Amino acid sequence: MVAEKNFSSLPKAPHADSVSPQAREHYLKQFAQRWAAVTPPMRPSPAELVRYEQALLESKPRQGATALILGSTPELRSLALKHALVTTGCDIDDGVWKALTSLRTVAGEESFIHGNWLNLPESSRYDFILCDCSFNMLPWEQMQILAAKIQVLLPAGGVSIQRIQAAPESLTLGMIEQAVLSYRRNNFPMPLFFYLIFLCEALRNLYRPELNNSEFFESFVFPQLTPQEKAQIRPALVDRKFYYPKWQDMRTLLGRHFSIVSEQKSTEPGIWDTASIFVLKRKI
């Protein structure tokens, strides 16, 4: 079994108005340092980034094409800058955006919108909208608003490339024990929490949506773990929910607003058929 590192204890974000500037700066420095150690599937894998780039190149970006990044994902910011896209980001936490700038692999000038994705001004249009699991940060009702927002922000011919998660109905709660045993047998290059998180959030959405992330792990995962494994995972748990609709519902939502140009399933360890890279064109 791969040796666990404490990748999971990303510091909890203090509200900018409730702490001193020095404490806020310390938090953001910690966040960037620890996020640098986070492995796929929590971040896009090298194989997934190849799919992002292929989709971008197949769309033949013109000189001066614009890109909007939903969130602060440094890999997607680097991809946009690598291909000379005029890049704008939007994140509700401007400090996280600035902190993760240090993790870009390509330097360049970026614009930034500090705010909620659902409130993005509709006066602008972006040739490309790139994001990683952004839909799944929102409850179902807000996912529908975000889909409509992205449709409006894309011009005719505009493309959104994004990793999207959903819950395969073939998953069963019994797979948790199987996954833990598989992790122990194999030398997977990720902490146990990262290996389980997509599977467990999909199962939570399918079978126990009333529970939050922390409650589900305590009730259904921890009975399968050793005391050491529990101690390593517990700091990563949060009292919130990540929303994975069923695949049919997700594809139906996308089909209302976009033409699905392609969908490439992610198959790396820790994915569990919960993620695909979608290329979406705006429906006129």
The confidence score (pLDDT) of residue 7 equals 41
Per residue in 229-261, pLDDT tens?
A: 999 999 999 999 999 999 999 999 999 999 999
The H or E element containing residue 216 is: helix 213-216
CB 51 within 8 A of CB 72: no
CB 71 within 8 A of CB 133: no
Give the β-pairing of 258-265 and 275-282.
antiparallel
Ordered per-residue pLDDT tens for the chain, 284 residues: 333 344 444 444 555 555 688 887 888 888 899 899 999 999 999 999 999 999 999 999 999 999 999 999 999 999 999 999 999 999 999 999 999 999 999 999 999 999 999 999 999 999 999 999 999 999 999 999 999 999 999 999 999 999 999 999 999 999 999 999 999 999 899 999 999 999 999 999 999 999 999 999 999 999 999 999 999 999 999 999 999 999 999 999 999 999 999 999 999 999 999 999 999 999 98
The confidence score (pLDDT) of residue 8 equals 44
The H or E element containing residue 261 is: strand 258-265
The confidence score (pLDDT) of residue 13 equals 52
- Please provide residue 91's backbone torsions phi and psi, each rounded to the nearest 5 degrees: -145, 145
The confidence score (pLDDT) of residue 30 equals 87
The confidence score (pLDDT) of residue 25 equals 82
Tokens of 149: 């927002």
Cα–Cα dist 259/237, whole Å = 36
Tokens of 118: 């659902």
What does the CA dihedral 207, 208, 214, 220 come to, rounded to 10 degrees? -60
Domains identified in the chain and CATH numbers: 46-165+245-282 (3.40.50.150), 175-236 (no CATH)
CB 9 within 8 A of CB 34: yes
First-to-last alpha carbon distance for the chain, in angstroms, is 51
Cα–Cα dist 122/134, whole Å = 18
